[in-house]
Structure 1
């Protein structure tokens, strides 16, 4: 009898296991409702919520399928697919594919496109409350393709606006072009990001923001410029500008000149430890930022038509930046002080040899 019951027992155990797996999968696929305020901050309940989200998570807490957001009135707010959903801060959520946002009248007001890594990719569109297109930005893997975006007039005419000046290109206050965003990369030094551009001609421009506020209401920005080209050029730090973004307003802020800096800070004051570490790390690398990036970046640079490898032969460890001529094979290392103000976003514009290279914090 015992032998005859064993197959039945195995069958029952197998069925129980399958039931448990199926039940777990069903529970994992149940719809979860999340609440957010107008700024995308997660809420514990619907009190003070601006919209709510219906999403399914798998056993790894990864979102599954189409995610739908609704105004508290129940009308559709947005929909699309996500790689990751942050339940406390929606700004940290990562999306993929096309995401469409609607106003409460049901008209499309925004369309975003993302690649498989969650980075902006393709056309990003904005519409007015009537559903008419008012702005178009074109991205590839997280970076704008051009140095301008399109703003549409009420008559439907496209006007190119500069990312640098936030003004129409034909009214721009600078005669310089923006460095290509696709040439921009990031590495880390002592846990802090160093943003840098490398060009096919051999030019490299790097910046690191000091997170520590220094004397008065200023903080430091460390800058390295490497001339791997065959031509010399002047770098004038007085042309460096900074812009703060706060509540959708662009506010220029002061970048101290060397003369003002020297008049306010004792000549006996030593450089900050942060800048000394940055300068030492840059000086020890003869190949420049071109070769400290990963293999994928190196391969991309090698594929650029006209690219030539370079090596730094001379370091100018400037301290506070002043006007300098950079000969071929020369690296300039220095820092600037920028007026400190609270803001949502910080943009630094560094003009080098006819182009402006933008760095963000």
Structure 2
């Protein structure tokens, strides 16, 4: 694979597709609104407002459902939100499947595994190219007195060309490594981690859920011993 192709692979391109919230008729605890083109659903129960939007995400590291979560503490006591307690299930035609909800640490490990594989393949590719850069072959043909042709093959080695190619290869590896580090940093920004939410304080963050095909995606967010559940239609239209 050419170096440019692999570098372009990790110029993170993200595609997203919004999902539809399923509202139960006469459920007065739910409020919906659009924000920046995305449909948000909020539940106002037990002195907490929990909001959520859901869309399908695709980038260099796979496909998943991405949810942004809003939590506002209207009580008089601080609470701690633990993202590892968020669960999700997917209703399909014949069964219901529990889906993997990635914590920040788990998603960072997923990214690193993918990047390590890409870096290994890239290193092999550039190593082979650099190793061959100093070598060249020339052909010369002579003719004997009886008219027969004789071809001589000569191998040449240019140490300076090999050095320049190896230097370029190392630079490309360092550049790609820095790009990968930056990509991980960008994806970690805003990812929900364990957070204490004080009275009258609101926080927002996002989480990724392993994507599977199905009909209704349910996301359960436990806050202060109460489960805030949201159903989304994720079937293809």
Query: Are the equivalent residues in 2 in contact too, given 1:318–1:332 (CA < 8 A)?
Result: no
Cα distance in 1 for residues equivalent to 2:186 and 2:227: 27
Structure 1 pair 328/267, CA: closer, same or farther in 2 (3 Å)? Answer: farther
Structure 1 runs of 4+ aligned residues shifted over 3 Å read none
Cα distance in 2 for residues equivalent to 1:267 and 1:333: 24
Structure 1 pair 344/319, CA: closer, same or farther in 2 (3 Å)? Answer: same
SS of residue in 2 equivalent to 1:263? helix
Cα distance in 1 for residues equivalent to 2:181 and 2:203: 21
Structure 1 pair 216/204, CA: closer, same or farther in 2 (3 Å)? Answer: same
Which one has the bigger helix percentage? 2
Aligned to 1:256: 102
SS of residue in 2 equivalent to 1:238? helix
1:268 matches 2:114: no
Structure 1 pair 241/193, CA: closer, same or farther in 2 (3 Å)? Answer: same
Cα distance in 2 for residues equivalent to 1:348 and 1:256: 13
SS of residue in 1 equivalent to 2:182? coil
Aligned partner of 2:54 among 209, 212, 228: 209
Structure 1 pair 211/218, CA: closer, same or farther in 2 (3 Å)? Answer: closer
Normalising by the residue count of structure 1, what TM-score does the alignment of the two structures yield? Answer: 0.36
Query: Are the equivalent residues in 2 in contact too, given 1:205–1:224 (CA < 8 A)?
Result: yes
Aligned to 2:193: 322
1:40-51 pair list within 5 angstroms: none
SS of residue in 1 equivalent to 2:190? strand
Larger Cα-atom Rg: 2
SS of residue in 2 equivalent to 1:231? coil
SS of residue in 2 equivalent to 1:264? helix
Aligned to 2:33: 187
Flag the structure with more relative contact order, 1 or 2, with Cα contacts below 8 A and sequence separation at least 6.
2
Query: Are the equivalent residues in 2 in contact too, given 1:318–1:333 (CA < 8 A)?
Result: no
Cα distance in 2 for residues equivalent to 1:200 and 1:353: 9
Structure 1: any 5+ residue segments left out of the alignment?
A: 1-119, 121-140, 144-180, 273-316
SS of residue in 2 equivalent to 1:182? coil
Cα distance in 2 for residues equivalent to 1:360 and 1:320: 21
Normalising by the residue count of structure 2, what TM-score does the alignment of the two structures yield? Answer: 0.54
1:142 matches 2:25: yes
Query: Are the equivalent residues in 2 in contact too, given 1:198–1:205 (CA < 8 A)?
Result: yes
